[in-house]
C-alpha cells in the first residue's frame, strides 16, 4: 500500500512506544514531553499540507496497523465532508469496546457483539481521541493557532475550525484498535485553560461538546452493553414498581402477584426493583422476593429491559425508561382512562400513541384489552405484542385464614367511585330490589340505605377485605369495562358466585379458567336482580362456561406463567437484534424533547 | 240453612277466641310483675318532673316532634276555630260514658293511607264502646293539615284540636273555650295544651302515638291511664314508654314481650267496604298506593323491577294503578294505566292486588283485596295488623323478583282464592275479632275505674 498519510506521534504521555512505524509509510513527527507540543503539531500540519497527505494523530502508545489506518481513510471516500476519522478502542485481549464519551451515565464497556449491531459509522462533531486521521483537504486548510498551551488544545481547535467549515468526524465502528490504555487516555479531556480559550474563541464548540455528550449512539452503546452481555453475565431487568403504593388495592395485588411469579420463575435475569422504600416495607418485598435488589430515586444504571407493569401516563416516563432500558415493555391494563377522559391527564393520549408506535413490547392483560387498545391506538408492526393474563389459579388468590370462612349474610358489591364501575347506582338498585338482604359496598360510596354497609376499600386491612369477599353470599361486580377484573377472580377463587355485567372479557376469563363457583353475566338491571335472586335462593344460575380455551386436564395459568410470558416476549425481542426500532424511538423522543 | 250454620260456627269461633284472649289478658293482669310494677308506674307519673332530671336521654335519635330547643322564644297560643262542620258526615257519637284523648301527629280522617285508616277505625271503635274521644293533633313542622282537611275531620270528630308548630290552636271541641288565650309557659306547647285539656276534659285515658310518647306521657295527670300506640314499629328503648299502662301494636312479635301489657290492634273492615259484583279480570293487576312516600317508593320500584319481569313473561298482563300515588307517578309505561277516583271499585275487577310498600304498617289495600276475595302480593310488613288466619292468603315477597314471580304464578293460577278468601276475610275483619284484645283490656282498671 502506498503511504498517503503522515504521522504525528504524541510521546508526551507515559508508556512504551511500539516501534512499528517507519518513514516508509510517511513522514513521522514525534513530540516528547520536553518539547512544545502545539508547535510540533503545527509543524506536522505544515509538512502534511506541503506533501498533500492525510495526517494521523496518535497518542498513548497505540499501534494501529496499516490495514486499520486504511480502514479509517476509506471513510473519507464515503463522504467528502468527513474531515476526520477515528476507530473504536477495545480493551486488549477482550471483546469489550470502550464506549464513546457521553453524559448517558456510568461508563460500561460495550461487547463487540453489541457493537456489530451499530451502524458502520457514527458521525460526531470534533472529538478528541487517541487515534485520529485528518483528511488532507482539512489539513490543507489548517493555519496555526496560537494561545493553546496543550497539544490537545491545538488539535481540537483545528478540528473545531474544520467543523465550522463543514467537516465532521466519522467514528468507524467496525474498525477496532486494541489497547491497554484507559478510557480517559483514549478519549482525553481538554485542559481547562485550553477548553476555556477554545470556547471563548468559538462559543459553538460548547454546542459541539453537548452534541457529542448527547450522542444517540453513545446512549445506544450503553444499552447494548446491558442487552447483550458477555456469556455468563446475566441480563438486567428493571421492574419499575413506582406505581406500588403502601396500601392494598388492585394495583398492588397485580404487582405483587407478578413479583411472586418472577420469584417462582427464578429466571436467569437479574431483576432490579425500582420501588419506593415505604411501599417496599409495607408489602415486605425483601421477604417476598429476597433475590431482587431494590433501588429508589432516579434510575441510574442501564438495563436490557425496563418493564412498567402498567400503562405509561406521560412521555416523560417513556423517555426515562428508554434512557435506561434497551427494550421497554408496557403492560397495558386497559384503555379506560383514555375512554372516560375525565380523570385522565392530557399527557396520556400522546404517551399511549407513542407507546403504540415505539414501545418494544406491549403486553396486554387480556385479549379484550388488546382489542380495545388496538382499536384506539394503531400499533406499529415493529412493536411486539402479546397477551399475558394475570393468574387464574384459585389457590393463588385464596388467603389461608379466609379460605375456610363460611358463607355470611351479605352480598358484596365491588368497585369504586368512578362512573364506569357503577358501584353507587348498583348498590342503590340492589338495596331497593332486595330490601331484606344485607349488602356491603366495597371500594366507594353508596346510597343511604338501612341494608347497606359502605366500606372504603383502601382503608381496610387486607385480611378484612379478603374476609368480606370470602364470606359473601355472592359478589356483584357491576363495572361497565375492565381490563381483567381481579375482584371477579378473587370472588370466584373463594368459591363465591360472581355476577358481572355482560362483556366479552368475562367469556375470555372463563375460557382460560376453571372455577367451581359460577360466573354469571347479566345484560341489564332486570337480569341482574333475577340472577341474584336465583343465586340467593340456591337455584341453578346459568354461568359462563369455564375452560373452553384449555385443553383437557390443563390447569389455568398462574403468576409464574404470567412472569414467563413477559420474559418470553422480551427474549423474543432481543433475539431479533434489531436496533432500528430503538433508533426510531430515540429519534422521536429527541424531536419531542426539542419541542418541549 | 247453610248460611245459618256458618254464622253459628262463626259465633262459636269468636266466642272461643274472645275467651282465650280474656284468659291471656287475665294472666297478664294477675301476673306479679305487672301488679308489682303498677305502683311504681304511678309513682313515676307523680314524680315525672324530678325523674326527668336524671333520666338519661332516649337512645333513639330525636324525632322531628321533639320539644323545641330552649333557645327558642316562649310562644303564646292563639285559638282559631276550624269553622262550621261539613254536614252529611257520620260523626263519632259524643257524650259517651268514658272520656279519652287521642294524641297523634296527623289527622286520621280524611283517610289517606292504611295507618290513618287504622286510627280512624280505632276511634270509631272507642266511640262505639262508649268512649267520648277528643282528638288532639300535634303535627310536625311543614305537615300542618290544610283548613279544608281540618274542617272535614271536624265534621267527623266532635272534639278536635290541632296545635300547629307556630302556636296556633285550631279547634272545635267542647272545651275550646277553656283553651282560648292560653298563656304558654313552656317552649314545648304540646304538654301545656295537654295539661289544660286534662283539666278541662278530665279524660280517663290518653291514647298517644309512640312518636309523641316521650313528650306526652310525662304530662299526664296522676290517675289518667296511658295507652301508647306503637303501630308497626318494633319496641325500642323501653325507657321511652315508662308510664304506659297499655301498648297497642300491629306486630304480634311485640305483643309477646314479657312484663308488658300489649295487645295487637289492626283495623276492622265494615261490610260496606266489599262491593259485590264485577267480574274479576284474571290478567289485571291492581296496584294500590297512597301518596305516602313509602307507597310512592314501592310503586316506583315495582314499575322498575317487577313490572318488566311480569310483562316479559306475561305480555297480556295489564296493570292498573289506583290511589293517591297516581299523582306522583306520572308515566306508567306499556301495559299500565293510572285509574282516577277512589280505589274501591277497582278491587272487584282486579285479578290480583299488589301492595307495594315495603315498610311495615296496616295496608288497607291488602285488607280490602282479601275482603273482595282477591289474591294479594305484598311484603312481610303488610302482615302487620292482619289477622293471623289471613296470613296464608297473602303471597309474601322479600324482594322484587319474588314479588314478580308471585304475581306471575297467580296470573297463571286457575283460582286465586275467590269466595273462600272473601269469607275468611269477612270474619277476620269483623270488629269483634279485630278489637277483641283491646276491648278486653279497656274493660279493666285502670281504664275503667
Q: Which residue has the higher pLDDT, B45 or A120?
A: A120
CB contact under 8 A, B305 and A432: yes
pLDDT for res B315: 94
Nearest CA in chain A to B297: A432
| Cβ within 8 Å of B, A 352-411 | none
**Cross-chain Cβ contact B309/A432 below 8 Å:** no
- Give the pLDDT confidence score for residue A153 in this predicted structure: 95
Chain A residues touching residue B380 (CB < 8 angstroms): 436
Contact B398 A526 (CB under 8 A): no
User: Per residue in A406-442, pLDDT tens?
Assistant: 889 999 999 999 999 999 999 999 999 999 999 999 9
Whether A488 contacts A510, CB under 8 Å: no
User: In Å, how far is A409's CA from the nearest CA of chain B?
Assistant: 15
Q: What is the pLDDT of residue A1?
A: 46
Q: Does A50 touch chain B (CB under 8 A)?
A: no
Are B400 and A526 inside 8 Å of each other by CB? no
Shortest CA gap A525–chain B (Å):
8
Q: Which of B304, B312, B358 sits opposite A435 (nearest CB)?
A: B358
Confidence check on the interface: ipTM exceeds 0.85, yes or no? no
When pLDDT is averaged across residues A570-575 and rounded to a whole number, the result is: 95
Quote the cell numbers at residue A409: 349474610
Confidence label for A214 from pLDDT (cuts 50, 70 and 90)? confident
Q: Which phi and psi angles does B178 have, rounded to 5°?
A: -70, -20
More confident residue, A368 or A37: A368
* Contact residues on chain B for A432, CB-CB shorter than 8 A: 297, 301, 304-305, 400
Contact: A437, B380; criterion CB under 8 Å: no
Chain B positions with Cβ closer than 8 Å to A:
297, 301, 304-305, 308-309, 312, 358, 379-380, 398-402
Indicate which of B304, B308, B399, B408 best probes the interface with A, i.e. most A CBs within 10 Å of its own CB: B399
Cβ–Cβ contact A230 with B under 8 A: no
CA distance B403 to chain A (A): 10
- Interface touch B398/A434, C-beta < 8 Å: yes
Minimum Cα–Cα distance from A525: chain B residue: B305
Higher pLDDT, B221 or A460: B221
**Across the interface, which of B297, B312, B401 has its CB nearest the CB of A533?**
B401
Across the interface, of B305, B379, B380, the residue whose CB is closest to A529 is B305
Edge-to-edge strands, sheet with A474-477: A452-455, A438-442, A410-414, A474-477, A498-501, A519-522
Mean pLDDT of chain A: 92
Three-state DSSP string of B220-267:
CCCCCEEEEEEECCCCCCHHHCCCCCEEEECCHHHHCCCCCCEEECCC
C-alpha cell at B257: 314481650
Nearest CA in chain A to B300: A432
Cell 430503538, located at residue: A582
Give, as one character, the DSSP assignment of residue B302. Answer: I
Q: Which residues pair with B318 in a beta bridge?
A: B284
A22/A20 Cα distance (integer angstroms): 7
Residues of B in contact with A434 (CB under 8 A): 398-400
The three-point CA angle B385-B390-B391 to 5° equals 75
Give the CB-side neighbour count of residue B420, counting CA atoms within 13 A: 7
* Beta-carbon contacts below 8 Å between A and B: 38
Closest chain B CA to residue A537:
B402
Strand partners, B256: none
Chain B contact for A529 (CB, 8 A cutoff): yes
pLDDT number for residue B183: 60
Tell me: the pLDDT tens digits for A138-160? 999 999 998 999 999 999 999 99
- The alpha carbon torsion through A356, A359, A365, A370 (nearest 10 deg) reads 20
The Cβ of residue A125 has, within 10 Å, a number of other Cβ atoms equal to 18
Which sign does the torsion angle of CA B213, B219, B222, B223 carry? negative
Using CB atoms within 10 Å of the CB of residue A461, give its burial: 0 to 12 exposed, 13 to 18 middle, 19+ buried: exposed
Closest residue in chain A to residue B311, using alpha carbons only: A526
Task: Kindly determine whether residue A529 and residue B399, on different chains, have CB atoms separated by under 8 Å.
Answer: yes
Pairing, β A5-11 against β B376-378: unpaired
Instruction: Quote the minimal CA–CA distance from B365 to chain A in Å.
Output: 21
**pLDDT (mean) for A364-383:** 97
Among B301, B308, B309, the residue with its CB nearest the CB of A432 is B301
Closest CB from B297, B379, B401 relative to A530: B401
Confidence label for A251 from pLDDT (cuts 50, 70 and 90): confident
Least Cα separation, residue A531 to chain B (angstroms): 9
- Chain A segment 406-435 residues within 8 A of B by beta carbon are 432-435
Share of chain A above pLDDT 90, in %: 74
Cβ within 8 Å, pair B399-A432 = no
pLDDT of residue B432: 92
Look up the pTM and report it: 0.81
B304: closest chain A residue by CA:
A526
Region A16-21 average pLDDT: 63
Residue A465 has pLDDT above 50, yes or no: yes
Nearest chain A CA: its distance from B380 CA (Å): 10
pLDDT band at A62 (very low <50, low <70, confident <90, very high): confident
The residue whose grid cell reads 297463571 is B412
Instruction: Find, in chain A, the residue whose alpha carbon is nearest to that of B294.
Output: A432
Q: Which of B323, B329, B366, B356 is nearest to B342 (CA)?
A: B323
Q: Which of B400, B404, B408 to mutate to test the interface with A (most CBs of A within 10 A)?
A: B400
Contact status of A530 with chain B (Cβ, < 8 Å): yes
Strands (E) across A373-465 are located at: 384-387, 410-414, 438-442, 452-455
Q: How many CB atoms lie within 10 A of CB B168?
A: 16
pLDDT at A36 over 60: yes
Give residue-wise pLDDT tens across range A476-514: 999 999 999 999 999 999 999 999 999 999 999 999 999
Sort out which chain B residues have CB atoms less than 8 A from A538's CB and list them: none
Touching check for A526 and chain B: CB below 8 Å? Answer: yes
Chain A residues touching B301 at Cβ < 8 A: 432-433
* Inter-chain CB proximity B379 and A435 less than 8 Å: yes
Task: Please answer whether residues B250 and B228 qualify as being in contact, where contact means their C-beta atoms are separated by less than 8 angstroms.
Answer: no
Q: What is the pLDDT along chain B (449 residues), one digit of tens a residue?
A: 444 445 555 555 445 544 544 544 444 333 333 333 333 333 333 333 332 322 223 333 333 344 444 444 445 566 666 655 444 455 666 667 889 999 999 999 988 888 999 999 999 999 999 899 999 999 988 889 998 898 888 888 888 889 888 778 887 766 666 666 666 555 677 888 888 888 888 899 999 998 888 888 888 888 889 999 988 877 665 555 667 889 898 887 766 666 568 888 999 988 766 655 556 667 899 999 888 899 999 999 999 999 999 999 999 999 999 988 888 888 888 888 888 877 778 888 889 999 999 999 999 999 999 988 889 999 999 998 888 889 988 999 999 999 999 999 999 885 656 778 888 998 999 999 999 999 999 988 888 76
A533·B379 Cβ contact <8 A: no
Nearest Cβ partner of B309 from A435, A437, A526? A526
Smallest CA-to-CA distance from A7 within A24, A25, A28 is with: A28
Picking from B306, B144, B389, the residue whose alpha carbon sits closest to that of residue A530 is B306
Q: Which residue of chain A is at minimal alpha-carbon distance from B312?
A: A526
Chain A residue with minimal CA distance to B400? A433
Q: Which residues of A touch B308 (CB under 8 A)?
A: 526
Amino acid at each position: 500500500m502506498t503511504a498517503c498519510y503522515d504521522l504525528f506521534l504524541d510521546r508526551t504521555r507515559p508508556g512504551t512506544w511500539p516501534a512499528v512505524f517507519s518513514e516508509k509509510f510517511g513522514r513521522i513527527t514525534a513530540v516528547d514531553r520536553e518539547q512544545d507540543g502545539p508547535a510540533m503539531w503545527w509543524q506536522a500540519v505544515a509538512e502534511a499540507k506541503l506533501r498533500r497527505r492525510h495526517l494521523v494523530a496518535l497518542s498513548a502508545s497505540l499501534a494501529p496497523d496499516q490495514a486499520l489506518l486504511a480502514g479509517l481513510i476509506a471513510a473519507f471516500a464515503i463522504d467528502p465532508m468527513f474531515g476526520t476519522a477515528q476507530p473504536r478502542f477495545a480493551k486488549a485481549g477482550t471483546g469489550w469496546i470502550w464506549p464513546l464519551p457521553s453524559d448517558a451515565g456510568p461508563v460500561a464497556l460495550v461487547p463487540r457483539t453489541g457493537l456489530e449491531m451499530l451502524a458502520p459509522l457514527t458521525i460526531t462533531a470534533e472529538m478528541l481521541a487517541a487515534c485520529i486521521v485528518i483528511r488532507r483537504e482539512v489539513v490543507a486548510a489548517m493555519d496555526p493557532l496560537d494561545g493553546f498551551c496543550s497539544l490537545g488544545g491545538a488539535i481540537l481547535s483545528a478540528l473545531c475550525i474544520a467543523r465550522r467549515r463543514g467537516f465532521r468526524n466519522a467514528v468507524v465502528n467496525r474498525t477496532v484498535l486494541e489497547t491497554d490504555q484507559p478510557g480517559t487516555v483514549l478519549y482525553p479531556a481538554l485542559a481547562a485553560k485550553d477548553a476555556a480559550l477554545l470556547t471563548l474563541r468559538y462559543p459553538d464548540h460548547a454546542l459541539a461538546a453537548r452534541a457529542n455528550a448527547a450522542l444517540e449512539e453513545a446512549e445506544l452503546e450503553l444499552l447494548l452493553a446491558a442487552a447483550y452481555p458477555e456469556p455468563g453475565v446475566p441480563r438486567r431487568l428493571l421492574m419499575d414498581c413506582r406505581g406500588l403504593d403502601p396500601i392494598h388495592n388492585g394495583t398492588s395485588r397485580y404487582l405483587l402477584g407478578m413479583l411472586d411469579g418472577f420469584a417462582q420463575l427464578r429466571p436467569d435475569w437479574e431483576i432490579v426493583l425500582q420501588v419506593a422504600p415505604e411501599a417496599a416495607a409495607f408489602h415486605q418485598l425483601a421477604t417476598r422476593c429476597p433475590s431482587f435488589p431494590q433501588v429508589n430515586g432516579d434510575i441510574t444504571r442501564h438495563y436490557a429491559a425496563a418493564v412498567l407493569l402498567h400503562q405509561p401516563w406521560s412521555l416523560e416516563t417513556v423517555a426515562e425508561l428508554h434512557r435506561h432500558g434497551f427494550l421497554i415493555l408496557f403492560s397495558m391494563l386497559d384503555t379506560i382512562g383514555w375512554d372516560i377522559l375525565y380523570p385522565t391527564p392530557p399527557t396520556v393520549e400522546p404517551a399511549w400513541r407513542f407507546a403504540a408506535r415505539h414501545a418494544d413490547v406491549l403486553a396486554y392483560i387480556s385479549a379484550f384489552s388488546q382489542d380495545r387498545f388496538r382499536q384506539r391506538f394503531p400499533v406499529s408492526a415493529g412493536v411486539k405484542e402479546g397477551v399475558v393474563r394475570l393468574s387464574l389459579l384459585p389457590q393463588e388468590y385464596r388467603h389461608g385464614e379466609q379460605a375456610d370462612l363460611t358463607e355470611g349474610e351479605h352480598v358484596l358489591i365491588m368497585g369504586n367511585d368512578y362512573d364506569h364501575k357503577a358501584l353507587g347506582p348498583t348498590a342503590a338498585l340492589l338495596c331497593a330490589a332486595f330490601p331484606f338482604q344485607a349488602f356491603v359496598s366495597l371500594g366507594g360510596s353508596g346510597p343511604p340505605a338501612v341494608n347497606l354497609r359502605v366500606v372504603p376499600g383502601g382503608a381496610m386491612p387486607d385480611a378484612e377485605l379478603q374476609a368480606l369477599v370470602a364470606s359473601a353470599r355472592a359478589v356483584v361486580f357491576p363495572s361497565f369495562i375492565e381490563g381483567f377484573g381481579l375482584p371477579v377472580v378473587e370472588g370466584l377463587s373463594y368459591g363465591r358466585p360472581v355476577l358481572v355485567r355482560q362483556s366479552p372479557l368475562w367469556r375470555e376469563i372463563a375460557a382460560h379458567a376453571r372455577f367451581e363457583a359460577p360466573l354469571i353475566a347479566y345484560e341489564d338491571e332486570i337480569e341482574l336482580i333475577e340472577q341474584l335472586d336465583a343465586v340467593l335462593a340456591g337455584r341453578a344460575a346459568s354461568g359462563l362456561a369455564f375452560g373452553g380455551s384449555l385443553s383437557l386436564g390443563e390447569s389455568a395459568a398462574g403468576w409464574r406463567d404470567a412472569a414467563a410470558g413477559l420474559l418470553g416476549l422480551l427474549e423474543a425481542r432481543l433475539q431479533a437484534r434489531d436496533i432500528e426500532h430503538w433508533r426510531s424511538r430515540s429519534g422521536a423522543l429527541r424531536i419531542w424533547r426539542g419541542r418541549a | 240453612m247453610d248460611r245459618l250454620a256458618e254464622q253459628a260456627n262463626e259465633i262459636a269461633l269468636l266466642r272461643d277466641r274472645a275467651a282465650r284472649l280474656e284468659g291471656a289478658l287475665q294472666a297478664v293482669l294477675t301476673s306479679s310483675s305487672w301488679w308489682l310494677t303498677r305502683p311504681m308506674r304511678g309513682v313515676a307519673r307523680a314524680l315525672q318532673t324530678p325523674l326527668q332530671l336524671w333520666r338519661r336521654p332516649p337512645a333513639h335519635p330525636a324525632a322531628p316532634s321533639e320539644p323545641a330547643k330552649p333557645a327558642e322564644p316562649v310562644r303564646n297560643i292563639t285559638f282559631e276555630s276550624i269553622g262550621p262542620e261539613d254536614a252529611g258526615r257520620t260523626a263519632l257519637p259524643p257524650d259517651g260514658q268514658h272520656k279519652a284523648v287521642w294524641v297523634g301527629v296527623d289527622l286520621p280522617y280524611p283517610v289517606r293511607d292504611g295507618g290513618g285508616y287504622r286510627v280512624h277505625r280505632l276511634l270509631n271503635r272507642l266511640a262505639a264502646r262508649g268512649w267520648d274521644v277528643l282528638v288532639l293533633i300535634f303535627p310536625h313542622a311543614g305537615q300542618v293539615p290544610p283548613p279544608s282537611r281540618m274542617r272535614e275531620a271536624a265534621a267527623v270528630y266532635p272534639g278536635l284540636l290541632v296545635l300547629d308548630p307556630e302556636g296556633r290552636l285550631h279547634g272545635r271541641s267542647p272545651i275550646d273555650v277553656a283553651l282560648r288565650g292560653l298563656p304558654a309557659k313552656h317552649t314545648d306547647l304540646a304538654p301545656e295544651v295537654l295539661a289544660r285539656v286534662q283539666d278541662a276534659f278530665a279524660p280517663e285515658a290518653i291514647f298517644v302515638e309512640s312518636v309523641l310518647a316521650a313528650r306526652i306521657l310525662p304530662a299526664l295527670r296522676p290517675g289518667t291511664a296511658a295507652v301508647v300506640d306503637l303501630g308497626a314499629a318494633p319496641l325500642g328503648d323501653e325507657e321511652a314508654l315508662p308510664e304506659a299502662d297499655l301498648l297497642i301494636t300491629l306486630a304480634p312479635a311485640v305483643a309477646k314481650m314479657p312484663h308488658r301489657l300489649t295487645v295487637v290492634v289492626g283495623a276492622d273492615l265494615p261490610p260496606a267496604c266489599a262491593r259485590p259484583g264485577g267480574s274479576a279480570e284474571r290478567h289485571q293487576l291492581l296496584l294500590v298506593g297512597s301518596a305516602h312516600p313509602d307507597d310512592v317508593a314501592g310503586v316506583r320500584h315495582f314499575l322498575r323491577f317487577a313490572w318488566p319481569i311480569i310483562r316479559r313473561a306475561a305480555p297480556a298482563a295489564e296493570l292498573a294503578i289506583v290511589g293517591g300515588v297516581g299523582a306522583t307517578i306520572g308515566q306508567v309505561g306499556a301495559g299500565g294505566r293510572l285509574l282516577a277516583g277512589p280505589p274501591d271499585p277497582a278491587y272487584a275487577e282486579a285479578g290480583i292486588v299488589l301492595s307495594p310498600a315495603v315498610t311495615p304498617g296496616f295496608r288497607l289495600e291488602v285488607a280490602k283485596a282479601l275482603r273482595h276475595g282477591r289474591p294479594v302480593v305484598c311484603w312481610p310488613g303488610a302482615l302487620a295488623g292482619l289477622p293471623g288466619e289471613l296470613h296464608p292468603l297473602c303471597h309474601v315477597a322479600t324482594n322484587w323478583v319474588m314479588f314478580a314471580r308471585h304475581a306471575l304464578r297467580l296470573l297463571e293460577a286457575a283460582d286465586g282464592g275467590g269466595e273462600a278468601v272473601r269469607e275468611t276475610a269477612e270474619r277476620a275483619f269483623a270488629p269483634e275479632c279485630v278489637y277483641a284484645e283491646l276491648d278486653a283490656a279497656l274493660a279493666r282498671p285502670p281504664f275503667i275505674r
